Structure 1
Amino acid sequence: MRAIFRPVSALLLASLLAGCIFGGGEKDRPAPRQSAHKTVAAPPTNRETRQCYADLSRGGYQFRPLPDRDYGGGCEVRGAVQLLDIGVPVTGIKAMQCGLADKFTAWITHGVRPAAIQILGSDVVRVETYGTYACRNIRGNASASGKLSQHAKANAVDVSGFVLADGRHITVEKDWDTNDSRIHRFMEVIHASACKRFDTVLSPDYNAAHYNHFHIDMGGGHFCR
């Protein structure tokens, strides 16, 4: 059973916010165990963020609200959280805009894990990513190369693979075009599930820059490939 949202003292809150983490990484780094953390309440900056906090708490997910940061050049982190426990460890994720975090937890909980169980006969025990926040422009698209990526606003995450309870390691790089019909079906289903939840979903079919991950973001509009 996931932990329930509980208020904490102002002193603890200040301590947690002072140690906030923003960058995205590519090293395997499992999320903290459920028993080690409590969701921390922080003063949300707007109604949308307050609602997002409530939605994450209602789902039983553990998260840490992060203070807004402006890094210059259009790179900023606002209304972000760090997910601590969503029922399965996730590597690489740090600062995420709360709306993206809300969609991400729903996708893993109601899309990815059920698909793995139903199609592959084994639950997901680890989700692997290449990170969230990175102050950089869009890559792999010449017409948009001068524009900031949604990663520069902590509004995107790159998902690279999944580890199953039976030991199998499913990755976008090696399994997107696999000859294994069940794994191929799993990839199709979770990609379609992502397209229903996120504004943008880019797979290896989009361009060479995405050969090894799904880029998913909440940047507005709708594009899925």
Structure 2
Amino acid sequence: MSSRRTSRHASPRQRPSTLARVRALLAGALVLGVGGTATLAAWTDEERATATVTAGTFALQSRVGPAPTPWANHTTTAAALPLSAAGLYPGQSRAAWIQIQNTGSVAGTVNLSGVTFASTPAPGSNHERLRDATRVRISATAADGAASNAPSCTTSTPGTEVTGLQNVPALTAQPLKAASANTVTYCVVITLSADAPNEAQGGSVTPTWTFTGSTPTS
């Protein structure tokens, strides 16, 4: 009976060697695991995309007479509006027009934005009196194409009027299509008020109206 019980259980001398073998196997397993992870390779691939970015253009041109009057850029030198306004007397009116197109590739709008003078009239001078006694009436119309004939613009053409050449009529911005697909015509009418003072006699002023075009902001 005692021999059977002895065979079922390891002797105290056998236990340390068994534990050593177990520890060695576990360590080997750990080493194999680290080695297996280190040998893994990551596969990569790439895709690329490119594009050409080109800016559009927005360029105004104007003319103050029918064909063969050419369209031209008047950024630095103003177009001479043929108002024939020399020698005005009280109650007299003069009319002239300017047409504007956009030769660029981007559509936008144009509007009357300001008026300046070659020189500021001295206070109380006949030049100032003339400036203040002159009314200006301006209208704006947009039409497709570039008609070669003169537009309808007379001293009776209706529009927005203010008194004093230094003032700017408030107009609505007009659409400007790309590639000269339409034309905006501004009819400018000036009238020396019937009650212009005697002190305005001999006065002279040179107003320059500015028409500003712009593209959409987004």
> What TM-score comes out, normalization by structure 1 length?
0.21
Identify, as 1 or 2, the structure richer in strand. Answer: 2
Question: Which protein has the larger Cα radius of gyration, Structure 1 or Structure 2?
Answer: 2
Choose between structure 1 and 2 for higher RCO, CA contacts under 8 A separated by at least 6 residues: 2
Identify, as 1 or 2, the structure richer in helix. Answer: 1
